[in-house]
Amino acid sequence: MMNSDSMSRIASCNNKPMAVPTKEEEEDPPISTSLLSFDTDASCPSTSPKPPLTNVIFTALILVTCIALSAAIAFGFLFFSSSYSHPSQPISDVVSRPLKKLKRPVVLLISSDGFRFGYQYKTDVPNINRLIRNGTEAELGLIPVFPTLTFPNHYAIVTGLYPAYHGIINNFFLDPNTGEAFSMGSHDPKWWLGEPLWETVVNHGLKAATYFWPGSEVIKGGWTCPESLCMRYNGSVSFEERVDTVLNYFDLPTDEIPSFMTLYFEDPDHQGHKVGPDDPQITEAIARVDGMIGRLIRGLEEKGVFEDVNIIMVGDHGMVGTCDKKLIFLEDLAPWIEIPKDWIQSYSPLLSIRPPPSYSAKDVVTKMNEGLKSGKVQNGQYLKVYLKEELPARLHYSASDRIPPIIGLIDESFKVEQKSSKRKECGGSHGYDNAFFSMRTIFIAHGPQFARGSKVPSFENVQIYNLVTTILNIQGASNNGTASFPKTILLPSH
């Protein structure tokens, strides 16, 4: 053991400041005596003819420790100096940026069907991230309307109306008065209520162009679905062709460029239904969509209009995995009440029941819930049945005679079927309560009227209609959105 005098001498030799690497040395700082925390000054013992073994060992340990600490400090300096030498936070604009080439505002509304919030973190998406980094994002996603299905949500986005008011209450449903069936191929305007954005735009003397948006093929009001600006749905058309068609609109004379455009991709909804939200196929689909956004950005940049166009990228709903073990069978309710197949308008993920007029809907609901709560129905606790007028008000799903009188809310991932079968299935679904986080999708906006690097709270997609009309400086139709909402997300005019 060393005496106190030896210890004090060593301590006095370790008080020299440690050298810090310069900018030029950051990549590979050399090891030099300036990094060693011992002194060769005459006041400190340098060598000894025959130093005791313990002194040699102790000094060696001190030397190794000092070198390690010095290297660690140098590395930390390099890491933090590198981090802070390249600020990543964009500078937010105070007012909207003036147009450089276009004569009037343009909004391009893009839908990536089934793009669940969080998918953007599954893989590298440099183009989507570019829009996020230099634009405005709903930080925890966009909230779809109930039911969280494709047609009700796409039409809610462009009308600002909840499904009970815009009429498309499901992807498939029956008119209770005529018995006629609505399907995703129905283009009779009697089904499609409200005023979609393309109609609003042309009513104000501007041009609109749509590429595969539900409802866009419906001839209604001032919208005639012109052949050159309104594409009839054809799922076999490549994503590349869709993007290139939109880009070609910017080659038109300035006064002919549509002020409002839509662009639609089926992915990743297509894959999500087959394999659920966590399969590698989803990652591939997201990368493909990002590639299309990159193709769009490059094309707009080549035409010199990228910074002039207000791009709004959304999804219509999220996705959740479903498997056989999460099934509820209506036949199991037989001890309480028989629910015939012809009463059912949809099974999952929204149970819709319209019993004959001779049955009391209230009695049917009471008996079904008795069975579901009995503990004798497999997974019965994951289904609750309501009279539509008694549904939670936040769902806004009662003010239409198209909505059947009995609605069953199913917990996420569960499915309702008529009877048990040996069929095996495991995939993905949506349509559940929009309060489930798994049903959220994305909202990403980039352009002269959106702040750079801005994060906003989640909001319902019915707000987008007023957002677009405000950007285009036109008066919109009555809707369920909030008139003041655009002020919370758009930059004030310059």
Which pLDDT score, from 0 to 100, does residue 24 have?
A: 35
248-284 residue pLDDT tens = 999 999 999 999 999 999 999 999 999 999 999 999 9
- Overall average pLDDT of the 128-145 stretch: 98
222-256 residue pLDDT tens = 999 999 999 999 999 999 999 999 999 999 999 99
Domain boundary pick from 425, 443, 459: 425
CATH assignment at residue 328: 3.30.1360.180
One DSSP character per residue, 192-222 reads --S--HHHHHHHTT--EEEES-TTTTS-BTT
- Do 244 and 110 share a structural domain? yes
Is residue 178 predicted with pLDDT exceeding 90?
yes
> What are the contacts of 217-224 at 24+ separation with CB within 8 A?
217/187, 218/187, 218/188, 218/189, 218/191, 218/192, 219/187, 219/189, 220/189, 220/192, 220/196, 221/195, 223/196, 223/198, 223/199
31 domain residue, yes or no: no
Mean pLDDT of the chain: 86
Domain that holds residue 364: 324-425
Give Cα separations from 357 to 32, 172, 218, 343, 405 (angstroms): 93, 22, 33, 11, 11
- Do 380 and 288 share a structural domain? no
- Do 311 and 328 share a structural domain? no
63 domain residue, yes or no: no
Q: Which amino acid is at 202?
A: V
Number of folded domains in the chain? 2
- Do 353 and 297 share a structural domain? no
55 domain residue, yes or no: no
- Do 419 and 344 share a structural domain? yes
Beta bridge partners of 454: 136
385-400 residue pLDDT tens = 999 999 999 999 999 9
- Do 406 and 441 share a structural domain? no
Beta bridge partners of 108: 261, 311
Beta bridge partners of 181: 174
- Do 335 and 270 share a structural domain? no
5-14, 106-115, 170-179, 207-216: least confident range: 5-14
Which pLDDT score, from 0 to 100, does residue 423 have?
A: 76
Per annotation, catalytic residue among 136, 148, 150, 159: 150
Q: What is the largest CA-CA distance in the chain?
A: 113
60-86 residue pLDDT tens = 555 545 455 554 444 444 333 333 333
- Do 225 and 351 share a structural domain? no
Which pLDDT score, from 0 to 100, does residue 387 have?
A: 98
Is residue 45 predicted with pLDDT exceeding 50?
no
- Do 484 and 346 share a structural domain? no
- Do 125 and 274 share a structural domain? yes
373 domain residue, yes or no: yes
| Distance in angstroms (rounded) separating the CA atoms of residues 229 and 261 | 9
What is the three-class DSSP state of 93?
Answer: coil
- Overall average pLDDT of the 341-366 stretch: 97
62 domain residue, yes or no: no
Domain boundary pick from 425, 451, 470: 425
- Do 140 and 283 share a structural domain? yes
- Overall average pLDDT of the 348-353 stretch: 96
| Distance in angstroms (rounded) separating the CA atoms of residues 310 and 106 | 6
Is residue 310 predicted with pLDDT exceeding 70?
yes
313 domain residue, yes or no: yes
CATH assignment at residue 196: 3.40.720.10
Is residue 28 predicted with pLDDT exceeding 90?
no
- Overall average pLDDT of the 349-355 stretch: 97
**Catalytic residue list contains 150:** yes
24 domain residue, yes or no: no
pTM for this entry: 0.82
pLDDT band with cut points at 50, 70 and 90 for residue 136: very high
208 domain residue, yes or no: yes
- Do 451 and 411 share a structural domain? no
